[in-house]
Amino acid sequence: MRTPQPPQTLTPPGVLPRLLEQVGTPGRAATLAEHVARHGHVPYRGGPGVLISTIEQAGLTGRGGAAFPTARKMKAVLDGGKRAVVVGNGAEGEPAAWKDRALLTTNPHLVLDGLQLAAEAVDANKAVLYVQDDSMVQSAVERALDERAAAKVDKIEVELVVAPTRFISGEESALANRVSGGPAKPRFTPPRVFERGVKNRPTLVQNVETLGHIALIGRYGAPWFKQAGPSDDPGTMLVSISGVVSPVVLEAQRGAAISAVFDRAGVDVSEVGAVLIGGYHGAWLGRDEAWTLHLDNKELKPKGAAVGAGVLVAFPKDRCGLHETARVVDYLAGESAQQCGPCMFGLPALADTLHHLASPQGAHRGTVDEIARLGTLVERRGACHHPDGSMRFVRSALRVFAPEVSMHASGRCSGTSNRQVLPIHEAPQRPADWK
């Protein structure tokens, strides 16, 4: 194929959109030629470490949920003493998240550029793209990799590994196990994955959205990146919105008002009863408090919440938050890797107790106290954070849906519809061997 031609001068994207700017034909992924015509070639730096200081200046944080400073993680891997492995994490095990899918099926070359740049920066000689079990994503990525192979734009070959449809398959140690050939189950740390991950080598795991930002920072620089978002947590982020509206993915500035993001998604505030932020390891917020808050971890932390991987659910007021929470905790219990006792036994006990709380007989203080007690038995008692995250979700439900508990005690319920709002992966989708 002919070599794609870059433009004479590069025009940086504005504040929004960046990652989801349409550079190809709407409805399909941008080709390599379209991508190069918009953004030019991969801006390799010529050696390890160089790009890390630019990323540090940009203040980029991981977009997979933990918001850890990307440059710090890269430095740790570069200083790991052995040749590193870099993995783009697109597992997206969270059922209410579609943003990695949206990015990989719109602008896959941004992610693949970022993967090459990250590999160069940490001196990796192995690169892996770990993607969800989704035919649209896989075909977009395979096609993009074929184009890049033909045009010889990649310095190191990229291996594609499919993540099993499991809530925690993107957890770093689970990812390292899967990419090493085993099941996507978490393992004991230390050693941490950046010290010893895939095949016991220092492993840089970055969410695919983070890699997309790296591709843009590599071209347009740190000052450009910081034109969006607050100075202490700059840039944009992808947000998956659902609930009272059909699921949609938007790009927003970090620090944007939650109400403004919902507004763009067409959410009618009068239909909303509560808000879930950060997904099923995230937290419920009351509607009125959510409408005063921003996508800002400093502001959300006192509420026990975090931006996470950008999941926002505008939960309808004609649905019962207690019933929905109990149903999701059933699902989360089923997503235990069955490795750690407190998770294996504690999450089903929590789910049962939540169902009891949602019933007219169980809606009282004693059940709430029992949930809190079970919480102390699961929190910080596992190899991964699945129990902790699940309990964060449950605690926030107890806070936000306290009025609903009182209603249930008097035999009433907000749920006038049985529609299931919060998506879950059904059992047949979830491979029993975690591969």
Partner 1 sequence: MTMADMRLRVNWLECKARGICAEVLPEMIELDDWGYPIVVDGPVPGDLIDEARLAVQSCPRLALLLMPDPR
- Residues binding partner 1 (CB under 8 A): 187-188, 339-343, 345-346, 349, 377, 381-383
167 vs 434: CA distance, rounded Å: 11
412 vs 74: CA distance, rounded Å: 53
- Nearby residues of 314 by Cβ (< 8 Å), 6 or more positions away: 241, 242, 243, 244, 245, 262, 265, 267, 271, 272, 275
The smaller minimum CB distance to partner 1, of residues 192 and 355, is found at 192
Spatial contact of 77 and 84, defined as CB atoms under 8 Å apart: yes
For 325-372, the DSSP string reads: HHHHHHHHHHT--S-SHHHHHHHHHHHHHHHHHHSTTT-SHHHHHHHH
Q: How many CB atoms neighbour CB 57 within 10 A?
A: 15
Distance in Å, CB of 81 to partner 1, minimum: 21
The smaller minimum CB distance to partner 1, of residues 99 and 166, is found at 166
260 vs 257: CA distance, rounded Å: 5
The smaller minimum CB distance to partner 1, of residues 37 and 344, is found at 344
The smaller minimum CB distance to partner 1, of residues 190 and 411, is found at 190
Distance in Å, CB of 375 to partner 1, minimum: 12
Tokens of 418: 């049985």
The CA distances from residue 434 to 162, 172, 175, 231, 427, in Å, are 11, 15, 11, 40, 12
Distance in Å, CB of 376 to partner 1, minimum: 9
Distance in Å, CB of 182 to partner 1, minimum: 13
Distance in Å, CB of 247 to partner 1, minimum: 35
Spatial contact of 56 and 62, defined as CB atoms under 8 Å apart: no
The smaller minimum CB distance to partner 1, of residues 26 and 190, is found at 190
The residue with tokens 């783009």 is 88
The smaller minimum CB distance to partner 1, of residues 43 and 197, is found at 197
Identify the CA nearest to 408 among candidates 365, 349, 348.
365
Distance in Å, CB of 172 to partner 1, minimum: 15
In terms of C-beta density within 10 A (0-12 exposed, 13-18 middle, 19 or more buried), how is residue 432 classed? exposed
168 vs 312: CA distance, rounded Å: 19
In terms of C-beta density within 10 A (0-12 exposed, 13-18 middle, 19 or more buried), how is residue 300 classed? buried
Distance in Å, CB of 203 to partner 1, minimum: 19
The smaller minimum CB distance to partner 1, of residues 20 and 332, is found at 332
Output Rg (C-alpha) for the chain, integer angstroms. Answer: 22
The smaller minimum CB distance to partner 1, of residues 298 and 380, is found at 380
Distance in Å, CB of 89 to partner 1, minimum: 22
Residue 79, phi then psi, degrees to nearest 5? -85, 10
Distance in Å, CB of 339 to partner 1, minimum: 5
The smaller minimum CB distance to partner 1, of residues 92 and 172, is found at 172
Tokens of 64: 């997979």
The smaller minimum CB distance to partner 1, of residues 108 and 382, is found at 382
Distance in Å, CB of 435 to partner 1, minimum: 18
